[in-house]
Amino acid sequence: MNTKMSSPKTRETGTKSYCQDEQEMREDLAAAYRLIHYYGMTDMIYSHISLRINEEPPVFLLNPYGLMFDEICASNLVAVDDNGNKINPKDADVNPAGVTIHSAIHLKRSDAQVVLHTHTVSGMAVAAMKEGLLPLNQISMAFYNRVAYHDYEGISFDLDERDRIFASLGQKKFLIMRNHGLLTVGRTVAEAFYYMYYLNKACEIQVNVLRSGAKPNIPPPEVCEHAARQYEAPTCYDKILGTWKANRRLLDRLDPSYRG
């Protein structure tokens, strides 16, 4: 994916002009914010989704601090460097904890174009469980032995935590931040969003199973691993992309203002 911002093609959005590639990425990212809202995975003005739009020097987009996710659109996303400095000083401020968490991964994972972090109720519930995520359902199997964990250190204002966040995640795509929330990474917005939707769904299933008081039925490890590998088949990305296109059509029917 071309992450450079030097394309000669430009597109006007309101009073701002971006290269065509950046505009497309901004619309994708704004769509993810709106969809997180639509599917009930928001925490008011908190949590964040980032998209790296330039590798050298590092530049990524974050939500303006103080807006609800259904207020996010392509033009009000904020471009920041790896230390959270705004590329355009006139832009709104961003959440410093978002800079710490997201830059930790963007700076060291070339495949981590997008980082998505949520504070869903079920995600935070599983993040508070010693056993972590259990393989209780077919949806949960996609994450079997593929989730990393990061121990809670307090609110992530300290940039020194970046190294430890990255060390916890390593090369995995899914991170449960203990006593905090969920995080997914992807090569595209479509991928990171798809993973978050189903990681959160797996947490919802677990909370409901454990709440029932019934003894969970967990398949044998070899069955869980087989199912997890099935989710990693090369054709799976086609399903991810198809799901994303369907969600973009949904947004365009409901409220296309995210593009502006």
pLDDT above 90: residue 46: yes
pLDDT above 60: residue 38: yes
pLDDT band at residue 36 under the 50/70/90 scheme: very high
For 137-176, how does the pLDDT look when each residue is reduced to its tens digit (9 = 90+)?
Answer: 999 999 999 999 999 999 999 899 999 999 999 999 999 9
Joined together, the tokens standing for residue 226 give 């087989």
Joined together, the tokens standing for residue 123 give 């995600």
- 16, containing H or E segment: strand 16-19
pLDDT above 60: residue 106: yes
For 109-128, how does the pLDDT look when each residue is reduced to its tens digit (9 = 90+)?
Answer: 999 999 999 999 999 999 99
Which residues does residue 191 pair with via DSSP β-bridges, in sequence order?
Answer: none
**CB-CB neighbours of 97 under 10 Å:** 20
pLDDT band at residue 196 under the 50/70/90 scheme: very high
pLDDT above 80: residue 9: no
Q: Cα 100 to the chain's mean position, in Å? A: 14
The sign of the torsion formed by the CA atoms of 181, 118, 149, 98 equals negative
Going by C-beta distance under 8 Å and a sequence separation of 6 or more, which residues neighbour residue 48?
62, 63, 94, 95, 98, 101, 102, 117
Residue among 238, 194, 187 nearest 32 (CA): 194
Report whether 85 contacts 58 (CB < 8 A): no
pLDDT band at residue 11 under the 50/70/90 scheme: very low
DSSP state of 86: B
The reported pLDDT for the residue numbered 2 is 37
Angstrom CA distances, 217 to 130, 134, 136, 179, 209, stand at: 18, 10, 7, 25, 10
Q: How many CA atoms lie within 13 A of 28 on its CB side?
A: 25
> Domain residue spans in the chain?
10-251
Joined together, the tokens standing for residue 85 give 């400095």
pLDDT band at residue 55 under the 50/70/90 scheme: confident
The whole-angstrom separation of Cα 161 and Cα 164 is: 5
Place of tokens 């974050």: 62
User: Can you list the alpha helix ranges (DSSP code H) found in 89-235?
Assistant: 96-106, 121-127, 138-141, 161-169, 189-212, 221-231
The reported pLDDT for the residue numbered 73 is 97
Minimum mean pLDDT among 11-20, 51-60, 85-94: which range? 11-20
Beta strand 114-118 with 181-186 is antiparallel
Beta strand 114-118 with 48-54 is antiparallel
pLDDT above 80: residue 8: no
Could you check whether the bond before residue 256 is cis, i.e. omega within 30 degrees of 0? no
For 56-86, how does the pLDDT look when each residue is reduced to its tens digit (9 = 90+)?
Answer: 899 999 999 999 999 999 999 999 999 999 9
Rounded (5°) CA angle 165-124-193? 70
% of the chain beyond a pLDDT of 90: 89
The pTM of this model reads 0.91
The CATH class for the domain spanning 10-251 reads: alpha beta
